[in-house]
């Protein structure tokens, strides 16, 4: 029986990983990903067929937005039956947001979608780009009993495979730029690739991939801090068209008990704005009502963000608002893990 090599599609969006040094000018320039295999000869050693496409105009990930997420989701949907896995090359600054968004947009995903990037350009002498790219392809190509080992949206960086919607960027200068504080890593790369099967997300049933591109970004983020000014909070909460809000509270979900704050928040909830309570802490979970400082929030029936990241909470809000979920069931659905993004 002829062995069929896994087919992997690289999608280049931009970012540091796609830059090389122009030694004549001394400047960084975009890497030609149409010739990715020719320019990175190590890829010839992989037991995979690798094709690549890229954004017409690669972007810095600081400019990533809903239109780009829609394009990525549509490209994966368009090529889903042609390839066994997808690797998205992306700037690290907003990679956790994109990974979170795609996890919700790609319902019933049963193949690997792995985002990766680098802290140094691919042409730099000390670059982390080649290892991240090569190992991401290897991870995406892993198969067991003719099925992909990984069947979810992941993020690979510095020898570690994470669930994408559980990650947050932790460092602007260390090669280990990301962490997953509330969920174990999915795999590691050392002398051997090791996948922790018990932590992988498994789609229920054999349903066809559904690509959702209707996102609603009429959402806001309120990070409370000591001395926060009432006028600023009021301006945000009374913003025209606001439909969803992520409240970054202290510790286990605590917030100021001053009447001006609780009154404004209660008015916002009563207007039908969906408010999600998440913790500012990198790790841990919201436990509304455990302390007196969160009793009022529990009484208001704020959405319990549990241990979700801020990045995933914002993307989940956009996804559910865009999906037209009814106000009556919105809280229940948000508090339910849809793609392994929360407890």
Query: Domains of the chain (ranges plus CATH)?
Result: 7-211 (3.40.50.1170), 219-334 (3.40.50.40)
For the residues 160-166, what does the mean pLDDT come to? 98
Residue 296, judged by CB atoms within 10 A of its CB (0-12, 13-18, 19+), counts as buried
**What local confidence, expressed as pLDDT, does residue 37 receive?**
61
Q: What is the largest CA-CA distance in the chain?
A: 73
For the residues 315-330, what does the mean pLDDT come to? 97
30-34, 76-80, 201-205, 259-263: least confidently modelled range: 30-34
Query: In the sheet that 303-304 helps form, which strands lie side by side, from edge to edge?
Result: 219-223, 244-249, 274-279, 303-304
Contacts with 289 (C-beta within 8 Å, 6 or more apart), sequence order: 295, 298
Burial 203-213 (b: 16+ CB within 10 A, else e): eeeeeebebee
The single residue listed with the structure tokens 């008015």 is 267
Contacts with 342 (C-beta within 8 Å, 6 or more apart), sequence order: 305, 306, 307, 308, 312, 335
Residue count of the chain, please give it. Answer: 343
223: helix, strand or coil: strand
**What local confidence, expressed as pLDDT, does residue 38 receive?**
65
pLDDT above 50: residue 47:
yes
**Pick from 153, 162, 138: which is nearest to 45 by CA?**
138
From the list 2, 13, 16, 257, the catalytic residue is 16
For the residues 253-272, what does the mean pLDDT come to? 97
For the residues 29-52, what does the mean pLDDT come to? 78
pLDDT above 70: residue 35:
no
Confidence of residue 266 (pLDDT cuts 50, 70, 90): very high
The structure tokens listed for 234 are: 């009021």
**Pick from 11, 33, 165: which is nearest to 83 by CA?**
11
**What local confidence, expressed as pLDDT, does residue 205 receive?**
79
pLDDT digits (tens, 9 = 90+) for 7-28: 999 999 988 887 776 777 776 6
Residue 316, judged by CB atoms within 10 A of its CB (0-12, 13-18, 19+), counts as buried
Residue 16 among the catalytic residues: yes
Confidence of residue 262 (pLDDT cuts 50, 70, 90): very high
pLDDT above 70: residue 2:
no
pTM listed for this prediction: 0.95
CA 282 to CA 280: how far, in whole Å? Answer: 6
pLDDT digits (tens, 9 = 90+) for 63-103: 999 999 999 999 999 999 999 999 999 999 999 999 999 99
**What local confidence, expressed as pLDDT, does residue 1 receive?**
43
């Amino acid at each position: 029986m002829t062995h069929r090599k896994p087919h992997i599609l690289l999608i280049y969006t931009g970012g540091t990983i796609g830059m090389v040094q122009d030694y004549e000018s001394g400047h960084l320039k975009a890497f030609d990903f149409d010739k990715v295999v020719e320019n990175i000869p190590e890829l010839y050693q992989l037991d995979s067929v690798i094709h690549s496409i890229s954004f017409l105009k690669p972007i810095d990930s600081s400019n990533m937005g809903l239109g780009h997420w829609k394009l990525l989701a549509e490209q994966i949907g368009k090529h889903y039956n042609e390839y066994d896995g997808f690797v998205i090359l992306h700037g690290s600054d907003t990679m956790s947001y994109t990974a979170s968004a795609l996890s919700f947009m790609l319902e019933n995903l049963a193949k690997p979608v792995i985002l990766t990037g680098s802290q140094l350009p691919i042409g730099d002498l000390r670059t982390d780009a080649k290892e991240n790219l090569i190992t991401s392809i290897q991870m995406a190509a892993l198969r067991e009993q003719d099925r992909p080992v990984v069947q979810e949206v992941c993020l690979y960086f510095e020898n570690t495979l994470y669930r994408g919607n559980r990650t947050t960027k932790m460092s602007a200068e260390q090669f280990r730029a990301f962490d997953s504080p509330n969920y174990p890593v999915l795999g590691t790369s050392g002398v051997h690739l090791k996948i922790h099967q018990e932590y992988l997300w498994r789609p229920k049933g054999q349903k066809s991939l559904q690509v959702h591109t209707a996102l609603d970004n009429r959402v806001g983020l309120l990070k409370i801090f000591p001395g926060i000014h009432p006028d600023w909070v009021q301006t945000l909460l009374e913003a025209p068209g606001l439909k969803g809000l992520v409240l970054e509270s202290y510790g286990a979900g605590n917030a100021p008990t001053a009447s001006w704050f609780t009154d404004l928040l209660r008015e916002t909830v009563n207007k039908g704005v969906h408010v999600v309570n998440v913790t500012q802490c990198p790790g841990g979970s919201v436990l509304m009502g455990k302390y007196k400082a969160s009793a009022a929030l529990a009484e208001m029936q704020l959405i319990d963000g549990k241990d979700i990241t801020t990045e995933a909470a914002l993307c989940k809000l956009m996804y559910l608002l865009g999906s037209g979920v009814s106000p009556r069931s919105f809280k229940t659905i948000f508090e339910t893990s849809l793609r392994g993004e929360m407890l």
